[in-house]
């Protein structure tokens, strides 16, 4: 008989809504039902919370019961709204399977802190810092970790195109899955790229182009007790890596392929894993995260970004890297829930 009541929150109002649903679907397939009793809370694109049977393809069109996560510690869970009254469901732990804005930026983590319910993943502070790539770079640099040179452009600012050395990447400072990202090769392209990024965030990040392989590492754990998954490398045929931007990502990408384990020398693989762990600690991460980096020809590892709740879909990088290291998704879920119940560092 299942012992722990687990709230699985998915969907959300961000541009990564669909990816979140797919991630939750994979989590549902790999959840050990002998240990956990799942309660699926879907957040629609408009922000309505529904208690539903699961993240199937039609969940949003069905009449799930309206539900809210109570910030009251005495409730310690969900208020299910019935006709003229409400019921309560006490939760032992929450898996916030949410990506992007309001999912990885500390917002849902703050609500869970108020509720007093243990939750999987990074806390409010580390989620917020990692979500803002410019802040993450500042913290990482202070810890001696290499980052690209970068400039930020706020809502009321402009930047002189002549001051930059091209090509550069222009992206929203606080978004994910390559939404709003443009590679800019000439001065006259910059203004349009900034406007594209501003569709997703008022704060825009402009980065120098780092020449090297795109490489990543999955991390699980907290404090000094970390597990690094196998390193992967993104093999590009052309353009740049646009994760989750394909019409049917399950069937593959038209310009990229993730190679796991990465086809890099052992010395480089170890350096990437060590750098990923250093980034994870410097940014205060706990539970799990995927650290994306660049591996330059001279062996230097440069931070790209940190995903504090990486994709868990059938084609996502994090579960594939952990599986290659001997940890299937069922065990990853078990370990992250155990970490949540033990408390944050």
Give, in degrees to the nearest 5, the angle at Cα 258 between 279 and 211.
60
Q: What letter would DSSP give residue 60?
A: G
DSSP string, 281-292: HHTT--EEEEEE
Q: What is the 3-state secondary structure (H, E, C) of 66-79?
A: EEEECCCCCCCEEE
Tell me the C-alpha distance between 308 and 284, whole Å.
11
Give, in degrees to the nearest 5, the angle at Cα 252 between 171 and 294.
45
Q: What's phi and psi for 66, nearest 5 deg?
A: -60, 140
**Which region holds residue 308: left if phi is over 0, alpha if psi is between -120 and 50, else beta?**
alpha
Q: Which ranges in the chain belong to alpha helices (H)? A: 17-30, 107-115, 124-131, 133-142, 190-198, 266-282, 317-324, 329-342
Location of structure tokens 């931007």: 245
Location of structure tokens 């509720």: 115
Active site residues: 19, 22, 99, 244, 250, 290, 311, 315
Asked whether 91 and 73 are in contact (CB, 8 A), the reply is: no
């Amino acid at each position: 008989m299942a012992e722990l009541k687990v709230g699985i929150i998915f969907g959300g109002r961000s541009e990564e809504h669909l990816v979140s649903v797919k991630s939750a679907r994979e989590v549902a397939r790999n959840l050990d039902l002998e240990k956990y009793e799942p309660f699926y809370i879907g957040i629609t694109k408009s922000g309505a919370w529904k208690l539903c049977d699961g993240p199937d393809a039609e969940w949003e069109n069905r009449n799930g019961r309206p539900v809210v996560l109570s910030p009251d510690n005495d409730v310690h869970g969900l208020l299910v709204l019935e006709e003229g009254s409400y019921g309560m469901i006490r939760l032992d732990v929450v898996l916030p399977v949410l990506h992007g804005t309001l999912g990885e930026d500390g917002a849902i983590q703050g609500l869970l802190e108020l509720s007093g319910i243990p939750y999987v993943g990074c806390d409010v502070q580390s989620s917020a810092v990692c979500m803002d790539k410019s802040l993450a770079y500042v913290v990482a640099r202070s810890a001696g970790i290499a980052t690209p040179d970068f400039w930020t452009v706020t809502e009321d600012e402009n930047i002189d195109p002549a001051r930059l050395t091209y090509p550069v990447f222009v992206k929203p400072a606080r978004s994910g899955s390559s939404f709003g990202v443009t590679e800019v090769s000439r001065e006259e392209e910059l203004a349009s790229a900034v406007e594209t990024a501003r569709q997703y965030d008022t704060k825009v990040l402009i980065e120098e182009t780092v020449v090297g392989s795109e490489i990543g590492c999955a991390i699980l754990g907290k404090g000094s007790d970390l597990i690094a998954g196998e390193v992967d490398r993104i093999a590009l045929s052309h353009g740049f890596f646009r994760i989750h931007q394909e019409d049917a990502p399950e069937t593959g990408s038209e310009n990229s392929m993730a190679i796991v384990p990465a086809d890099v020398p052992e010395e480089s693989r170890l350096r990437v894993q060590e750098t990923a762990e250093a980034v994870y600690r410097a940014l205060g991460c706990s539970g799990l995260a995927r650290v994306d980096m660049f591996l330059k020809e001279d062996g230097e590892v440069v931070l790209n970004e940190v995903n504090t709740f990486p994709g868990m879909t059938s084609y996502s990088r994090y579960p594939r890297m952990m599986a290659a290291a001997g940890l299937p998704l069922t065990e990853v879920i078990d370990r992250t829930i155990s970490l949540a119940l033990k408390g944050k560092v």
